[in-house]
Amino acid sequence: MAVGIVGYGAYIPRYRIKIDDIARAWGSRGRGERSVTGTDEDAITMAAEASLNAVQNSGRDPENEIDSISFGSCSSPYIEQGTMGLMKDVLDMKPEADTCEFLGSPRAATAAVKASANAIKAGKVKNSLVIAADCRSAEPGSDVEQTFGAGAGAMVLGTEGAIAEIEDEYSYSTAMVDRWRGSEDRFVRSYDYRYTREFGFLNHVTAAVEGLLKKTGTTIDQFQYVVLQEPDVRMKKEAARNLKVKKEQLTSSVVESIGDSGAAGILLGLISVLEIAKPGDRILMVSYGSGASDAISLKVTSEIDKKKGKTKPIDDYLKEKEYIDYVQYMKYTDQITQAGEKVNLNVPPVSPYIRRDSRDIYALIGAKCGKCGYINFPPSLRQICIRCGSLDLTPVKVGKRGKIYTYCINYYMPPPLEAPLPMLYVDLDTGLRYQGLGTDTKIDDIKIGSPVELVLRRVTVERGISIYGYKFRLLS
């Protein structure tokens, strides 16, 4: 029973900052650009978008066919508190589905892949969703400020209809400390770039690849594609040279377009290969982080052609971008904040009032009236139809897309909300009129009748707890 990838999906924030803008702030120069999360984005919101793309691409029903979620990240919003319960609500998965979080290392994505694949092989689960998302914090002026980017990748693993089967794996790890963030640290710290490159990345990646080749009796020339973790372009090129990887085996570098996206980087690199791979191609995927490296061999099957074009390609995310300056970057990454007393919720964020309706809200489940057809939302607060008073209500998905019915713009908002802030009233395609804030949207682009979609975003943070909700994003 071969375990493999049955679906994949990516997400990259639209905002970019040119590395030269960062460098000039500290008296130096740089080239390229990196992705930046918006003010209402974090690892969880990015993970949600990538996961929805992957599940759609897989064709699996998340409620009945996906049995577990494994999440890899260096930038979870919590040190102690799980996040995948929220993801299950967003995907409308059953509460019995297992969750596991691999945190604290850019190698977390491949650790999650291995654990999920082993669970499927053992017969404990049938299909597993693996997610990796990161937006690591870099101290202003540090050597990693110019390299850290943001993004998310996700894939569904299973045995039926796999587009790329996992052949074998090999791991290599030591007591290496090169980049770290302690429990009291806000920013990632590093010792020395050369030490990280030579004794960390190059040493571990080389050892993992050589170990896998010896274990499987293969050579590097037998792989059509080699996907390496990319802390930066230089490290990738040196590792490829050490391993005698040919230029044609390396795809275009994701890190050159968005920077080092941590645990997500290796999945984004793999997805970029799956978008162009052909049946029979073999792929070598090699991760690195925190003194550990995983090398995983995959073989593409004839199912690959059925999945192409069924999810938003990485190139589209790379093209859809908006540049911000260094001051905006500092605001978006919460390194400078607006003065003034922040507006708080009227109830504690952990109260039953907040949590009671969360599953209906995040899964976007409404109650359709059998008498008049009106969709009541959320159903936990609508026990009778608010239009006709009927008790004949049936659960129904309210959908995520629609057109703007009307809108208003708030130009004066207290922190942490930012003005101008659009409030949109949207007629969803399923018939429900839904009210929500706008995001990733220029005010001048908002028009009555414009198509929009709901996306999960962070609404606020109170008492250290992130509150998430849906906002509207204009469709291009």
* CATH 2.40.50.840 given to domain 400-476: yes
So what's the pLDDT on residue 430? 92
Give the residue with greater pLDDT, 340 vs 146: 146
Q: How confident is the model at residue 108 (pLDDT cuts 50, 70, 90)?
A: very high
Q: How confident is the model at residue 308 (pLDDT cuts 50, 70, 90)?
A: confident
Q: Is 308 exposed, middle or buried (0-12, 13-18, 19+ CB in 10 A)?
A: middle
Q: How confident is the model at residue 342 (pLDDT cuts 50, 70, 90)?
A: confident
Give Cβ neighbours of residue 241 (< 8 Å, ≥ 6 apart). none
**Structure tokens, 210:** 């050589």
Looking at the structure, give the CATH architecture of the domain made up of residues 4-332.
3-Layer(aba) Sandwich (3.40)
d(CA 38, CA 32): 19
SS3 231: coil
Give Cβ neighbours of residue 110 (< 8 Å, ≥ 6 apart). 72, 266, 285, 287, 294, 296
So what's the pLDDT on residue 171? 98
Asked if residue 255 has pLDDT above 80, the reply is yes
So what's the pLDDT on residue 229? 95
d(CA 74, CA 152): 12
d(CA 45, CA 56): 17
d(CA 367, CA 392): 9
SS3 468: strand
d(CA 60, CA 57): 8
Give Cβ neighbours of residue 432 (< 8 Å, ≥ 6 apart). 366, 375, 377, 398, 399
pTM for the complete prediction? 0.96
So what's the pLDDT on residue 167? 98
Asked if residue 153 has pLDDT above 80, the reply is yes
Q: How confident is the model at residue 366 (pLDDT cuts 50, 70, 90)?
A: very high
d(CA 240, CA 359): 46
Count other C-beta atoms under 10 Å from residue 253's C-beta. Answer: 17
Contact between 90 and 66 under an 8 Å Cβ cutoff? The reply is no
Count other C-beta atoms under 10 Å from residue 53's C-beta. Answer: 22
So what's the pLDDT on residue 391? 94
So what's the pLDDT on residue 358? 83
d(CA 301, CA 95): 33
What is the residue extent of each domain of the chain? Answer: 4-332, 400-476
So what's the pLDDT on residue 206? 98
Asked if residue 351 has pLDDT above 80, the reply is no
* Range scoring the smallest mean pLDDT among 40-44, 348-352, 462-466: 348-352
- Summarize the confidence of residues 105-122 as an average pLDDT: 97
Asked if residue 415 has pLDDT above 90, the reply is no
d(CA 439, CA 86): 20
d(CA 469, CA 456): 6
